[in-house]
Amino acid sequence: MFSHVVIFWTRPEVADATEQLLAGAEKYLRPIEGVLGFHIGKMSPSERAVVDQSYQVALNLQFPSKEAEHAYQIHPLHIEFVEKVFKPCCQKAVIYDFE
């Protein structure tokens, strides 16, 4: 199992950036073959100080292997997502990959 977690900070000047990001991930990323688990959502507010609440959207993908995640990274739909959705809507992303 290989997990790929992406934390997104949207551009404040793009009024509907969060919604565009969610819809774009559904359109471009969910259909990519090799993804075993797909979960994207808005930051969930918490009263706990230890919970980071500075981001707007998180994406959690699971793959059968690191090689499958690599194939996802170079897939044309992923490239299209980066160009058409990520770059216009996001100012920052932090990625956590683990086996």
Residue in 96, 73, 98, 99 with CA at minimum distance from that of residue 6:
96
Q: What's the sign of the alpha-carbon dihedral 26, 18, 43, 73?
A: positive
Which listed CATH number (3.40.50.300, 3.40.190.10, 3.30.1370.100, 3.30.70.100) goes with 2-44+53-98? 3.30.70.100
Look at residue 6 in the predicted model and tell me its pLDDT.
98
Is the pTM higher than 0.95? The answer reads no
**Domain spans of the chain?**
2-44+53-98
Tens digits of residue pLDDT in 23-75? 999 999 999 999 999 999 999 999 999 999 999 999 999 999 999 999 999 99
Residue in 40, 34, 37, 21 with CA at minimum distance from that of residue 68:
34
- pLDDT tier at 90 (50, 70, 90 boundaries)? very high
